[in-house]
């Protein structure tokens, strides 16, 4: 019996010797590859996001300012513009909403070009748009005019956009023999949509269409700019339900400045849980608690390491980016260890 045991033990050792050696890990082996990454959406909520999504400066008719947003009627086919309207459909307007209709008066691609704000496009990409009670509602934060011209600058439709109570309003006039022989007066840009659209957020994290996070979904959070200094948390990492996050993105309106560097600087404080740099309301530090980005609510433990990403969604360069630690003029930034002449730019 003893000889048999020794032979079996020797065989086991030989079998183990043939296995490849694995690198030691700092975390328990059972946790390897089982933690979903952190993904903080840094969403630009500045005023410029309420401006026109599609702009092209060219000559415009009958105006003291000779250049503006113009589009010539295509000889055939049509361009494509992304937005709440289907570019391949046409629409009629009645009962305070646009409804798709074969042979409708207003081409969808043209309405996207004329009415969509940058915030509208961002919402459409992320969550399918601002949706409520079978209606997609457009939102802008400023006014603009666009011209749709037919063959001659004497024949055109003028599209005037304005903001009213958090919604976009459209007025269309006609001059000469315009491309579209119709007008609109203070029409609310609301589109009938019987079925809600799914954005990238749903496609990435709700593949089974049940309205909740998939097991392998990233640990999402939402962050926005303050008016003119830094940024703040809207939803803590791994805190919101899918519905909560969609609602938060729907309800953030464009307003204020774009303190891009300050915003990212405060984000680093959040991930480090090292206290707030700009305002106490930016976030609540909670080292080892449920609002710590490295806390696992499922296992109720702190995690040694999580892949962490910031998805920055913005329309352009920073504004009011002035309160940066260690900054004393162009070409100087002493707050970051190991730097003595790091160029810093703001406007």
- pLDDT tens-digit series, residues 270-283: 999 988 999 999 99
Please give the pLDDT value at position 321: 83
Task: State which of 174, 192, 210 marks the end of a domain.
Answer: 192
**Integer Cα distance of 57 and 22 in angstroms:** 61
| 321 and 307 part of one domain | no
- Cα separation values, 235 from 126, 244, 245, 247, Å: 16, 9, 7, 11
Please give the pLDDT value at position 236: 96
| 219 and 274 part of one domain | yes
Q: Is 21 part of any domain? A: no
Strand order in the sheet with 152-164: 57-59, 67-72, 144-150, 152-164, 167-175, 184-188
- Lookup result for tokens 């029409």: 187
Range of the domain at 267: 39-45+200-313
Token output for 214: 């998939």
pLDDT in tens, 157-214: 999 999 998 899 999 999 999 999 999 999 999 999 988 889 999 999 999 999 999 9
Please give the pLDDT value at position 76: 86
The answer to whether 123 and 45 are in contact (CB under 8 A) is: no
The DSSP 8-state label assigned to residue 333 in this structure reads -
Burial of 268 (0-12, 13-18, 19+ CB in 10 A): exposed
Please give the pLDDT value at position 35: 86
Q: Is 4 part of any domain? A: no
Find all residues with CB under 8 Å of 96, minimum gap 6, and list them. 187, 188, 190
| 59 and 78 part of one domain | yes
Residues of the chain with pLDDT under 50: 1-20, 30, 65-66, 331-347
| 145 and 268 part of one domain | no
**What is the pTM assigned to this prediction?**
0.81
Q: How many domains does the chain have?
A: 3
| 141 and 236 part of one domain | no
Mean pLDDT taken over the chain: 85
Q: Is 67 part of any domain? A: yes
| 253 and 345 part of one domain | no
**Core vs surface per residue 197-236: b (16+ CB within 10 A) or e:** eebebbeebbeeeeeebeeebbbbbbbbbbebbbbbbbbb
Please give the pLDDT value at position 327: 59
| 101 and 230 part of one domain | no
Please give the pLDDT value at position 63: 57
Please give the pLDDT value at position 195: 85
Q: Is 30 part of any domain? A: no
Q: Work out whether strand 144-150 and strand 67-72 pair parallel, antiparallel, or are unpaired.
A: parallel
Please give the pLDDT value at position 297: 87
Q: Is 128 part of any domain? A: yes
| 65 and 156 part of one domain | yes
């Amino acid at each position: 019996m003893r000889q048999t045991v020794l032979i079996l033990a020797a065989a086991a050792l030989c079998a183990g010797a043939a296995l490849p050696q694995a690198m030691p890990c700092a975390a328990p082996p059972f946790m390897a590859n089982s933690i979903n990454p952190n993904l903080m959406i840094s969403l630009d909520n500045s005023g410029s996001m309420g401006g026109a999504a599609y702009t092209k400066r060219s000559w415009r008719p009958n105006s003291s300012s000779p250049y503006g947003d113009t589009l010539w009627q295509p000889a055939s086919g049509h361009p494509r513009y992304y937005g709440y309207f289907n570019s391949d459909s046409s629409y009629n307007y009645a009962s305070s909403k646009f409804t798709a209709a074969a042979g409708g008066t207003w081409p969808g691609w043209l309405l996207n070009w004329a009415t969509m704000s940058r915030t509208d496009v961002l919402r459409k990409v992320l969550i399918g748009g601002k949706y409520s009670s079978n209606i997609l509602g457009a939102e802008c934060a400023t006014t603009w005019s666009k011209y749709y011209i037919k063959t001659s600058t004497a024949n055109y439709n003028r599209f005037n956009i304005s903001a009213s109570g958090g919604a976009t309003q459209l007025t269309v006039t006609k001059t000469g023999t315009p491309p579209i022989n119709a007008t609109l007066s203070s029409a609310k840009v609301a589109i009938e949509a019987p079925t809600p659209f799914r954005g990238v957020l749903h496609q990435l994290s709700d593949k089974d269409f049940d309205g909740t996070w998939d097991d392998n979904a990233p640990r999402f959070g939402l962050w926005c700019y303050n008016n003119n200094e830094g940024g703040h948390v809207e939803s803590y990492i791994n805190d919101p339900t899918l519905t909560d996050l969609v609602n938060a993105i729907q309800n953030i309106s464009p307003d204020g400045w774009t303190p891009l560097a300050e915003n990212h600087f405060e984000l680093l404080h959040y991930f480090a849980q090292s206290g707030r740099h700009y305002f106490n309301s930016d976030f609540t530090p909670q080292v080892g608690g449920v609002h710590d980005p490295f806390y696992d609510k499922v296992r109720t433990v702190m995690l040694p390491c999580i892949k962490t990403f910031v998805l920055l969604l913005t329309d352009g360069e920073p504004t009011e980016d002035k309160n940066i630690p260690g900054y004393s003029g162009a070409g100087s930034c002493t707050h970051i260890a190991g730097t003595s002449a790091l160029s810093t730019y703001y406007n």
